[in-house]
Structure 1
Amino acid sequence: MKVMTIIGTRPEGIKMAPVIKALQDTPGMESVFVNTAQHRGMLDQVLGLFGLKPQYDLDLMKAGQGLEELTMRLFEGLQPVLEQEKPDVVLVHGDTTTTFVGAYAAFLKQIPVGHVEAGLRTNTLYSPFPEELNRQLVGRMAAYHFAATEANRENLINENVNPASIAVTGNTVIDALLEISERPVRCRTELEEIFANGRRTILVTTHRRENMEDMQHIYRALERIVDQYDDVQVVFPVHKNPAIRRSVMQVLTGRNRIHLVEPLAYAEFVHVMKHSFLVLTDSGGIQEEAPALGKPVLVARETTERPEGVEAGTLKLVGTSEERIVKACSTLLEDETAYRRMAEVRNPFGEGDAARRIIDVLQGQAAASGGQKVVSR
């Protein structure tokens, strides 16, 4: 079976690296790895970390390009690759523009699509934007749905997806996280010095488009927290998006015990998570990763496509409200019982064997179909 994997962003690289490596190591599987390079530098770091090199690098990152231009260039770049390779299955991940276009380009050629991390839903099309629509559209095209959790499976069934096409695998990000967390990592001197001071660290990340107008509320909350607690510091890897960087710098430049750092390589980021007291983020993947390391996560969004974490108690939605963020952080900083209640919950997003489960499904389908392609849901 020839399996083409299409990725283009740093999160996709992290989450699909275990799958690509498993494909390469499995007899009878021919792996074709395509990197659209929707992200460039940060994704290259991840691929280097996992020792992966794409057969096709479309190099589509371009400063200032909008989603419309990116979408057109993705179609133009992927079409000849699909025509040349003629894969039996195309794997895409999650909900990026690369994910949607990769799935649709394969669908137009009647190549079965496997959707990894299928079934995430907020059911609010503009939250997150454009990810929620992307994942729903891919869900309509996919022949194989690799859902991380039972709740994701139920979301798909509620949309009339054939249950036989759904496999609950856990999330591949846990595979990647556990592999990297076991490696010895030496962080840049700046970070080593920060963690040597003995203060409790709040790790912060922000990047969501739908939060852009409200991000300064988050940053003002951070000012108040470090002013209130002398033993607390913030480590904030600032996203490369120029608008986000301007917003961060306007509020937080020069603030005592708020450390604004450049984006971290994945291994460094895992190291920082391990040494943090809690995490405040609007990221999706971190909502799955931090609980695996026993870290409470405050989600700076009003919705999440990962309600399992909220129900289990590892995540708490705090939105972008300054008051809600300060209150939630204060509770965790002051109440040891409340902290343990979040930190000690079993991670609902997997045990680290998701990639192997995905390969098992594909092998089973190849055996059952006798090499015939599946072109219907």
Structure 2
Amino acid sequence: MSQPEVHLVAGTPAEAVRLAPVALAMREQGRLTPIPVATGTDPDAIGVVLDSFGLAPKITLPSSVDDAETMRRFDELWAARTPAAVVVRDGLAPALAAFWRRVPIMQIDAGRRSGELGSTSALEAQRRLLAQITTVHLAATPLAAMNLLDERVIPGDTLLTGGTAQDAAQLLAAKTLAATPRDRRTVVLGVPAERAEAIGPALRYLAGRYPDLEVVRAADFAPGLEFATLLTQAYAVVTDDEDLVEDALAAYCPVLMIGLEARHAEALLAGSARLVAPDPAAITSEVASLMESRVRRDSMALAGNPYGDGLAAYRVAQATAALLGHGQFPDPMPAKPTAGVPR
């Protein structure tokens, strides 16, 4: 008897990083057949990320700039090859296609909110719409679960699993050469090009002040094994990218966040991340404070990662199997996972 087929839809490299551990956990548990689906504007980039985990897309379906056209493509796919369930992160178009086909939808990292519903970005609205059609909401943190309850999601439809970025970091760490530390202290800068130009003078000043400081741009590295190695060796990360915050914390690397306070309140509360104003003087001061005190830097790293405990992928896989009638739902992640030890 064949196992139920579950499609894991990744539309960005960040989504591929978080879905890959789930596919591996499903394969290991042996109750489901995971089918990675590469979509988005650059499916080849999804394939590169999956390859870092020893996976490959079983289906490649490029998205369109028109969400309606993307939905049509997924509807055609699932009319011919209907999965037992679909796992997404932020993919509203494939989720809508699954919803109209009456295919159960599992959402990882459910309940993330910025409070910026009226902003120019459509992401917040998409996440709230996605919550209305999701079958099981797999939340990374208690705060994310509370956001869903505030939006009147049925409590029994929400499971606290943790985030799978931690699982991904642990899987990739086994393949890196991070055990050999660099001679230089590396700060990873993860901001758009226009902001990097404004911050550049501050970082050049710091490089002159600290001869062993090396500043590298996250944009110069593709997600996957090479970037995972960089994060495990990094001294700190400066970013306004919410996914990079989680990736860095999963590698036990302190983060200086430019904005994002509403999206990463848990990290601020834990002390593993600090908020910094988006101006060169503030960033110079914060980076210098970490450069001058290894104890200060390491105390942030020791605060750990509030977004996962390394077992989220197994919970997601088990919950998906349970929804489809194979076994029991897992226990939720403990609210306070044990902090890891930085390298």
Alignment of 1:346 onto 2:327: no
- For residue 359 of structure 1, what is the aligned residue in structure 2? 317
- For residue 315 of structure 1, what is the aligned residue in structure 2? 273
Runs of at least 5 residues in structure 1 that lack an aligned partner in the other structure: 61-67, 187-191, 239-261, 370-377
- For residue 201 of structure 1, what is the aligned residue in structure 2? 186
Secondary structure, aligned partner of 1:69: coil
Amino acid at match of 2:297: Y
Q: TM-score by structure 1 length?
A: 0.78
Secondary structure, aligned partner of 2:42: coil
Residue range with higher mean Cα deviation, 156-165 or 222-231: 222-231
Q: 2:206 aligns with which of 210, 225, 228?
A: 225
Conserved? CA contact 1:302–1:319, under 8 Å: no
Cα distance in structure 2, aligned partners of 1:326 and 1:269: 24
Conserved? CA contact 1:4–1:91, under 8 Å: yes
Q: 1:235 aligns with which of 216, 231, 234?
A: 216
Amino acid at match of 2:72: E
Check 1:51–1:83 CA distance in 2 against 1; reply closer, same or farther (3 A cut).
same
Q: 1:15 aligns with which of 7, 13, 18?
A: 18
Residues 39-76 of structure 1: CA distance to partner in whole angstroms, max 9, x if unpaired?
2343221121222222321134xxxxxxx725244223
Check 1:70–1:22 CA distance in 2 against 1; reply closer, same or farther (3 A cut).
farther
- Give the paired residue count: 323
Alignment of 1:4 onto 2:7: yes
Check 1:340–1:21 CA distance in 2 against 1; reply closer, same or farther (3 A cut).
closer
- For residue 65 of structure 2, what is the aligned residue in structure 1? 69
Q: TM-score by structure 2 length?
A: 0.86
Conserved? CA contact 1:127–1:303, under 8 Å: no
Conserved? CA contact 1:185–1:267, under 8 Å: no
Residues 204-247 of structure 1: CA distance to partner in whole angstroms, max 9, x if unpaired?
1224xxxx764432333322322332331211243xxxxxxxxx
Conserved? CA contact 1:114–1:145, under 8 Å: yes
- Residue 334 of structure 1: how far off its partner (Å): 1.7
Residues 107-133 of structure 1: CA distance to partner in whole angstroms, max 9, x if unpaired?
222322111110111111366823222
Conserved? CA contact 1:3–1:29, under 8 Å: yes
- Residue 178 of structure 1: how far off its partner (Å): 0.2
Amino acid at match of 1:359: A
Secondary structure, aligned partner of 2:34: strand
Cα distance in structure 1, aligned partners of 2:282 and 2:260: 11
- For residue 120 of structure 1, what is the aligned residue in structure 2? 112
Conserved? CA contact 2:17–2:165, under 8 Å: yes
- For residue 335 of structure 2, what is the aligned residue in structure 1? none
Cα distance in structure 1, aligned partners of 2:93 and 2:151: 21
Runs of at least 5 residues in structure 2 that lack an aligned partner in the other structure: 328-343
Check 1:132–1:221 CA distance in 2 against 1; reply closer, same or farther (3 A cut).
farther
Q: 1:328 aligns with which of 286, 291, 295?
A: 286
Cα distance in structure 2, aligned partners of 1:295 and 1:71: 36
- Residue 160 of structure 1: how far off its partner (Å): 0.8
Alignment of 1:271 onto 2:229: yes
- Residue 5 of structure 1: how far off its partner (Å): 1.6
Q: How do 1:25-104 and structure 2 match up within 5 A?
A: 25-60=28-63, 69-93=65-89, 95=90, 99-104=91-96
Q: 2:239 aligns with which of 281, 292, 310?
A: 281
Cα distance in structure 1, aligned partners of 2:271 and 2:265: 10
Conserved? CA contact 1:90–1:114, under 8 Å: yes
Conserved? CA contact 1:5–1:34, under 8 Å: yes
Residues 130-167 of structure 1: CA distance to partner in whole angstroms, max 9, x if unpaired?
32222222112111000011111111111111110111
Secondary structure, aligned partner of 2:308: coil
Q: 1:152 aligns with which of 144, 148, 167?
A: 144
- For residue 131 of structure 1, what is the aligned residue in structure 2? 123
Query: RMSD between aligned alpha carbons?
Result: 2.5
Residues 76-123 of structure 1: CA distance to partner in whole angstroms, max 9, x if unpaired?
321111111222321101x3xxx1111111122232211111011111
Check 1:70–1:162 CA distance in 2 against 1; reply closer, same or farther (3 A cut).
same
Amino acid at match of 2:199: I
Conserved? CA contact 1:302–1:318, under 8 Å: no
Cα distance in structure 1, aligned partners of 2:260 and 2:282: 11
Conserved? CA contact 1:147–1:153, under 8 Å: yes
Check 1:128–1:266 CA distance in 2 against 1; reply closer, same or farther (3 A cut).
farther
Check 1:159–1:50 CA distance in 2 against 1; reply closer, same or farther (3 A cut).
same
Cα distance in structure 1, aligned partners of 2:230 and 2:196: 22
Q: 2:168 aligns with which of 172, 176, 199?
A: 176
Conserved? CA contact 2:240–2:260, under 8 Å: no
Conserved? CA contact 1:117–1:171, under 8 Å: yes
Identity value in percent: 27
Conserved? CA contact 2:176–2:228, under 8 Å: no
